[in-house]
Amino acid sequence: MSSLSFLGPRHMARTLGRRKFWEVVLLVGFLLVFYGPLLYTLVLAFAGQYTYPDILPKTWSLQWWKYVLKQPALIKSMVYSFEFAICSVLLSLAVCLPAAYVLARYKFTGRRLIMFTFLIGNAFPKIGMYTSMGIIYYKVGLMGTFLGVLLVHMLGSMMQMIWLPAGAFRSVPVQQEEAARDAGAGPLRTFFYVTLPMAWPGIAVACMFAFIGSLGESVGTLMVGLPTYRTMMVEMYGVILDYPATAGAVFSILLIMPNLLLILVMRKYIGADTISKGYKMG
């Protein structure tokens, strides 16, 4: 016991100094609040026998993974989630990249106003927007359709998909585009061989945010997509109510995993620099 006394608060306080000690306590507390639930979810997802007062389960097992992966509704929801995420990112790229380029390169009256409008659009509570969208959707028959849900997802990431790429385009020196024209490339070739590759980090980060945003979209999908388009986020509501907590844990890990993977893959692009460049009102 005495050999472990260095773990005691008094000993720690002495070796670290009072100030340092409180810093460590604060840090540990912070980590617990932050990662505690995540850690608990992880433990829960792989638990076999697990009874209340124990901190760790008695046995580990993959039974809940097998269970979740055997639910056709849940599998279907994953397919939907990825379909919407991929399609909305691609469609956003097609719509927003040209807009971003124009906003970045051409000085026209009302440019700042347009940029600002996107910002305002993001400031309203989403639910209000979905309600009014719902009313329009009913009229034009988009309710419960794939396209309807897709539009909701695109709308959610519109601002990022314009602001971040616009910032990225702005940071490509005009001379480098002109040099390509000079070498004999037309405007399109110049865009695809010079501008796009150079602006790619900013665009990739925007796509990542849009992808994660689409995977996490629930309210709009719930309102527009039901009953057919039940994505993972929509199913999550049901899972919490209808399945045991362990199944819920498995499901939420499945939800987190793509985001985590994306962030890991893209970590070299994600920097304060890329992002701050995007949010400048040039």
The burial of 87, by beta-carbon neighbours within 10 Å (0-12 exposed, 13-18 middle, 19 or more buried), is given as middle
- Beta carbon nearer to another protein, 146 or 269: 269
CB of 193 to another protein, least distance (A): 7
With CB under 8 A as the contact rule, which of the stretches 36-44, 54-62, 171-179, 224-232 interacts with another protein?
A: 171-179
CA distance 153 to 95: 13
Q: Which of 184, 227, 267, 272 binds another protein (CB under 8 A)?
A: 184
Residue 123 CA, chain-centre distance (Å), reads 18
- Beta carbon nearer to another protein, 134 or 282: 282
Count of residues of this chain found to bind another protein when the rule CB under 8 A is applied: 17
Point out which residues pair with 47 in neighbouring strands: 60
- The residues in 187-226 that bind another protein, with binding defined as CB under 8 A, are 189, 193-194, 197-198
6: which DSSP letter?
G
Decide: helix, strand or coil at residue 213: helix
- Beta carbon nearer to another protein, 17 or 187: 187
Q: Which of 176, 261, 265, 276 binds another protein (CB under 8 A)?
A: 176
- Beta carbon nearer to another protein, 201 or 220: 201
CB of 180 to another protein, least distance (A): 7
- Beta carbon nearer to another protein, 37 or 197: 197
- Beta carbon nearer to another protein, 116 or 192: 192
Check residue 11 for interaction with another protein (CB under 8 A).
no
With CB under 8 A as the contact rule, which of the stretches 5-13, 68-76, 173-181, 223-231 interacts with another protein?
A: 173-181
Check residue 271 for interaction with another protein (CB under 8 A).
no
Provide the 10 A C-beta neighbour count for residue 37: 11
CA distance 141 to 133: 12
Please give the single-letter amino acid code of residue 119.
Answer: L
Is 125 within 8 Å of 147 (Cβ atoms)?
Answer: no
Check residue 95 for interaction with another protein (CB under 8 A).
no
Q: Which of 36, 141, 173, 271 binds another protein (CB under 8 A)?
A: 173
CA distance 43 to 60: 9
| SS3 annotation, 127-196 | HHHHHHHHHHHHHHCCCCCHHHHHHHHHHHHHHHHHHHHHHHHHCCCHHHHHHHHHCCCCHHHHHHHHHH
Check residue 180 for interaction with another protein (CB under 8 A).
yes
Residues that bind another protein (CB under 8 A): 173, 175-176, 178-186, 189, 193-194, 197-198
